[in-house]
Copies of this chain bind each other. A is one copy, B any other.
Amino acid sequence: MRDAFHEDLDRISDQLVEMTRLASSAMSRATTALLDADITLAESVIENDKQIDALREQLDMLAIDLLARQQPVATDLRIIVTAMRMSADIERMGDLARHVAKVARLRFPHSAVPAELRDIILQMGQVAERIVTKAGAVIAAKDAEKALTLERDDDAMDDLHRQLFERLVDGHWEHGTETAVDITLLGRYYERFADHAVSVARRVVFLVTGEWEPEELTDHEEREDSGHAQE
Protein backbone atom coordinates (compact mmCIF):
# COMPACT_ATOMS: atom_id res chain seq x y z
CA MET A 1 0.00 0.00 0.00
CA ARG A 2 1.15 3.49 -0.75
CA ASP A 3 1.58 6.09 1.96
CA ALA A 4 -0.29 9.38 1.98
CA PHE A 5 2.62 11.25 0.43
CA HIS A 6 2.85 8.94 -2.55
CA GLU A 7 -0.90 9.03 -2.94
CA ASP A 8 -0.58 12.80 -3.24
CA LEU A 9 2.12 12.36 -5.87
CA ASP A 10 -0.18 10.02 -7.77
CA ARG A 11 -2.91 12.63 -7.59
CA ILE A 12 -0.55 15.22 -9.04
CA SER A 13 0.36 12.85 -11.85
CA ASP A 14 -3.32 12.09 -12.56
CA GLN A 15 -4.07 15.78 -12.66
CA LEU A 16 -1.28 16.42 -15.15
CA VAL A 17 -2.69 13.67 -17.37
CA GLU A 18 -6.15 15.21 -17.09
CA MET A 19 -4.68 18.58 -18.11
CA THR A 20 -3.16 17.03 -21.24
CA ARG A 21 -6.55 15.51 -22.04
CA LEU A 22 -8.21 18.91 -21.81
CA ALA A 23 -5.44 20.55 -23.87
CA SER A 24 -5.80 17.87 -26.53
CA SER A 25 -9.55 18.33 -26.70
CA ALA A 26 -9.15 22.12 -26.80
CA MET A 27 -6.70 22.09 -29.71
CA SER A 28 -8.74 19.53 -31.60
CA ARG A 29 -11.93 21.57 -31.25
CA ALA A 30 -10.11 24.83 -31.97
CA THR A 31 -8.84 23.38 -35.24
CA THR A 32 -12.33 22.25 -36.22
CA ALA A 33 -13.75 25.66 -35.26
CA LEU A 34 -11.09 27.29 -37.42
CA LEU A 35 -11.63 25.13 -40.48
CA ASP A 36 -15.44 25.02 -40.25
CA ALA A 37 -15.83 28.64 -39.12
CA ASP A 38 -17.86 27.29 -36.19
CA ILE A 39 -18.32 30.15 -33.75
CA THR A 40 -20.13 28.09 -31.10
CA LEU A 41 -17.27 25.64 -30.95
CA ALA A 42 -14.74 28.49 -30.89
CA GLU A 43 -16.54 30.13 -27.97
CA SER A 44 -16.61 26.87 -26.04
CA VAL A 45 -12.83 26.43 -26.43
CA ILE A 46 -12.27 30.00 -25.23
CA GLU A 47 -14.60 29.51 -22.27
CA ASN A 48 -13.29 26.09 -21.28
CA ASP A 49 -9.69 27.22 -21.08
CA LYS A 50 -10.56 28.36 -17.55
CA GLN A 51 -10.82 24.70 -16.57
CA ILE A 52 -7.20 24.09 -17.49
CA ASP A 53 -6.14 27.25 -15.66
CA ALA A 54 -8.06 26.12 -12.57
CA LEU A 55 -6.50 22.65 -12.68
CA ARG A 56 -3.08 24.21 -12.88
CA GLU A 57 -3.77 26.40 -9.89
CA GLN A 58 -5.07 23.43 -7.89
CA LEU A 59 -2.07 21.34 -8.82
CA ASP A 60 0.41 24.06 -7.88
CA MET A 61 -1.29 24.59 -4.54
CA LEU A 62 -1.21 20.88 -3.82
CA ALA A 63 2.47 20.79 -4.80
CA ILE A 64 3.40 23.71 -2.54
CA ASP A 65 1.37 22.23 0.26
CA LEU A 66 3.25 18.94 -0.16
CA LEU A 67 6.58 20.74 -0.08
CA ALA A 68 5.60 22.46 3.16
CA ARG A 69 4.06 19.45 4.91
CA GLN A 70 6.33 16.66 3.78
CA GLN A 71 9.64 18.40 3.33
CA PRO A 72 10.68 16.00 0.60
CA VAL A 73 14.26 15.65 -0.54
CA ALA A 74 16.04 13.96 -3.45
CA THR A 75 13.72 12.28 -5.95
CA ASP A 76 10.46 13.27 -4.28
CA LEU A 77 11.49 16.93 -4.24
CA ARG A 78 12.51 16.70 -7.88
CA ILE A 79 9.17 15.17 -8.83
CA ILE A 80 7.21 17.99 -7.24
CA VAL A 81 9.28 20.80 -8.74
CA THR A 82 9.14 19.14 -12.14
CA ALA A 83 5.38 18.63 -11.89
CA MET A 84 4.93 22.36 -11.37
CA ARG A 85 6.94 23.02 -14.51
CA MET A 86 4.84 20.54 -16.46
CA SER A 87 1.63 22.16 -15.28
CA ALA A 88 2.96 25.51 -16.54
CA ASP A 89 3.72 23.95 -19.94
CA ILE A 90 0.29 22.36 -20.26
CA GLU A 91 -1.53 25.47 -19.12
CA ARG A 92 0.30 27.37 -21.84
CA MET A 93 -0.82 24.75 -24.37
CA GLY A 94 -4.39 25.51 -23.35
CA ASP A 95 -3.72 29.21 -23.96
CA LEU A 96 -2.42 28.44 -27.44
CA ALA A 97 -5.56 26.43 -28.28
CA ARG A 98 -7.58 29.42 -27.06
CA HIS A 99 -5.53 31.70 -29.34
CA VAL A 100 -6.44 29.48 -32.31
CA ALA A 101 -10.11 29.57 -31.31
CA LYS A 102 -9.95 33.36 -31.09
CA VAL A 103 -8.72 33.64 -34.65
CA ALA A 104 -11.66 31.42 -35.68
CA ARG A 105 -14.07 33.68 -33.81
CA LEU A 106 -12.53 36.85 -35.21
CA ARG A 107 -13.01 35.81 -38.84
CA PHE A 108 -16.47 34.29 -38.43
CA PRO A 109 -18.58 33.80 -40.58
CA HIS A 110 -15.56 33.23 -42.82
CA SER A 111 -12.79 30.74 -42.17
CA ALA A 112 -9.43 32.39 -41.47
CA VAL A 113 -7.79 29.64 -43.53
CA PRO A 114 -7.78 29.82 -47.35
CA ALA A 115 -8.94 26.63 -49.07
CA GLU A 116 -5.51 25.59 -50.31
CA LEU A 117 -4.01 25.78 -46.81
CA ARG A 118 -6.75 23.79 -45.07
CA ASP A 119 -4.86 20.56 -45.55
CA ILE A 120 -1.70 21.82 -43.84
CA ILE A 121 -3.63 23.34 -40.93
CA LEU A 122 -5.64 20.15 -40.54
CA GLN A 123 -2.42 18.16 -40.35
CA MET A 124 -0.92 20.60 -37.83
CA GLY A 125 -4.04 20.13 -35.69
CA GLN A 126 -3.72 16.36 -35.93
CA VAL A 127 -0.04 16.36 -35.00
CA ALA A 128 -0.85 18.70 -32.09
CA GLU A 129 -3.53 16.34 -30.83
CA ARG A 130 -1.28 13.31 -31.23
CA ILE A 131 1.71 14.87 -29.49
CA VAL A 132 -0.22 16.06 -26.44
CA THR A 133 -2.04 12.73 -26.14
CA LYS A 134 1.35 11.01 -26.21
CA ALA A 135 2.65 13.44 -23.59
CA GLY A 136 -0.24 12.39 -21.36
CA ALA A 137 0.58 8.71 -21.86
CA VAL A 138 4.25 9.40 -21.12
CA ILE A 139 3.29 11.06 -17.81
CA ALA A 140 0.88 8.27 -16.87
CA ALA A 141 3.36 5.47 -17.59
CA LYS A 142 6.55 7.42 -16.73
CA ASP A 143 7.78 6.02 -20.02
CA ALA A 144 11.10 7.62 -20.97
CA GLU A 145 11.36 5.57 -24.15
CA LYS A 146 8.00 6.68 -25.49
CA ALA A 147 8.97 10.24 -24.57
CA LEU A 148 11.64 10.14 -27.26
CA THR A 149 9.06 9.44 -29.96
CA LEU A 150 7.57 12.90 -29.36
CA GLU A 151 10.65 14.38 -30.98
CA ARG A 152 9.59 12.81 -34.27
CA ASP A 153 6.11 14.26 -34.00
CA ASP A 154 7.68 17.60 -33.28
CA ASP A 155 9.84 17.25 -36.40
CA ALA A 156 6.64 16.59 -38.35
CA MET A 157 5.17 19.79 -36.89
CA ASP A 158 8.29 21.79 -37.81
CA ASP A 159 8.06 20.43 -41.31
CA LEU A 160 4.39 21.45 -41.66
CA HIS A 161 5.26 24.86 -40.24
CA ARG A 162 7.94 25.29 -42.88
CA GLN A 163 5.50 24.25 -45.61
CA LEU A 164 3.01 26.80 -44.34
CA PHE A 165 5.58 29.58 -44.48
CA GLU A 166 6.70 28.59 -47.92
CA ARG A 167 3.15 29.05 -49.15
CA LEU A 168 3.13 32.53 -47.62
CA VAL A 169 6.33 33.71 -49.24
CA ASP A 170 6.53 31.80 -52.53
CA GLY A 171 5.38 34.87 -54.44
CA HIS A 172 1.93 33.50 -55.29
CA TRP A 173 0.08 34.71 -52.21
CA GLU A 174 -3.29 36.14 -53.20
CA HIS A 175 -5.17 36.39 -49.91
CA GLY A 176 -4.01 39.78 -48.67
CA THR A 177 -1.98 40.80 -45.66
CA GLU A 178 -4.65 40.24 -43.04
CA THR A 179 -4.89 36.55 -43.88
CA ALA A 180 -1.09 36.38 -44.04
CA VAL A 181 -0.97 37.76 -40.48
CA ASP A 182 -3.55 35.19 -39.33
CA ILE A 183 -1.69 32.31 -40.92
CA THR A 184 1.66 33.47 -39.53
CA LEU A 185 0.27 33.55 -36.00
CA LEU A 186 -1.67 30.29 -36.39
CA GLY A 187 1.50 28.56 -37.55
CA ARG A 188 3.33 29.82 -34.52
CA TYR A 189 0.54 28.74 -32.12
CA TYR A 190 0.58 25.15 -33.39
CA GLU A 191 4.34 24.98 -33.33
CA ARG A 192 4.63 26.36 -29.81
CA PHE A 193 1.94 23.90 -28.71
CA ALA A 194 4.12 21.03 -29.92
CA ASP A 195 7.22 22.58 -28.32
CA HIS A 196 5.53 22.58 -24.92
CA ALA A 197 4.43 18.96 -25.36
CA VAL A 198 8.05 18.00 -26.09
CA SER A 199 9.13 19.95 -23.04
CA VAL A 200 6.65 17.98 -20.89
CA ALA A 201 7.97 14.69 -22.26
CA ARG A 202 11.57 15.73 -21.61
CA ARG A 203 10.71 16.52 -18.03
CA VAL A 204 9.41 12.97 -17.64
CA VAL A 205 12.69 11.67 -19.05
CA PHE A 206 14.46 13.81 -16.47
CA LEU A 207 12.38 12.31 -13.67
CA VAL A 208 12.97 8.76 -14.84
CA THR A 209 16.65 8.97 -15.75
CA GLY A 210 17.78 11.88 -13.57
CA GLU A 211 19.43 13.44 -16.59
CA TRP A 212 18.65 17.06 -17.08
CA GLU A 213 19.29 18.37 -20.56
CA PRO A 214 18.58 22.06 -20.77
CA GLU A 215 20.85 22.35 -23.81
CA GLU A 216 18.49 20.20 -25.79
CA LEU A 217 15.65 22.54 -25.04
CA THR A 218 17.76 25.36 -26.42
CA ASP A 219 18.56 23.43 -29.58
CA HIS A 220 14.91 22.83 -29.95
CA GLU A 221 14.27 26.56 -29.75
CA GLU A 222 16.84 27.05 -32.46
CA ARG A 223 14.98 24.70 -34.72
CA GLU A 224 11.77 26.49 -34.00
CA ASP A 225 13.40 29.76 -35.00
CA SER A 226 14.76 28.50 -38.26
CA GLY A 227 11.31 27.16 -39.00
CA HIS A 228 9.47 30.42 -38.75
CA ALA A 229 12.26 32.41 -40.24
CA GLN A 230 12.31 30.44 -43.48
CA GLU A 231 16.07 29.91 -43.31
Contacts and interface: CB of A to CB of B under 8 A. Distances in A.
Interface stretch (A9-17, A137-145, A180-188, A202-210): A180-188
A81 B61 CA distance: 11
Interface in A72-108: 73-74, 77-78, 81, 84-85, 88, 95, 98-99, 102-103, 106
Contacts of A181: 165, 168-169, 180, 184, 228, 230
Contacts of A71: 71
Nearest to A224: B99
**How many copies make up the complex?**
2
Nearest to A78: B64
Interface in A194-229: 214, 218, 221, 225, 228-229
A23 to B, nearest CB: 15
Contacts of A214: 53, 57
A108 B67 CA distance: 50
Contact of A73 (B68, B84, B102): B68
A177 interface: yes
Contact of A67 (B67, B99, B221, B229): B67
17 contacts: A50-B218, A53-B218, A67-B67, A68-B77, A98-B221, A99-B225, A102-B225, A102-B229, A106-B229, A168-B177, A168-B178, A169-B181, A173-B177, A177-B180, A181-B230, A184-B184, A185-B188
Q: Which 6 A-B pairs have the closest CB atoms?
A: A71-B71, A184-B184, A169-B178, A173-B177, A68-B73, A106-B229
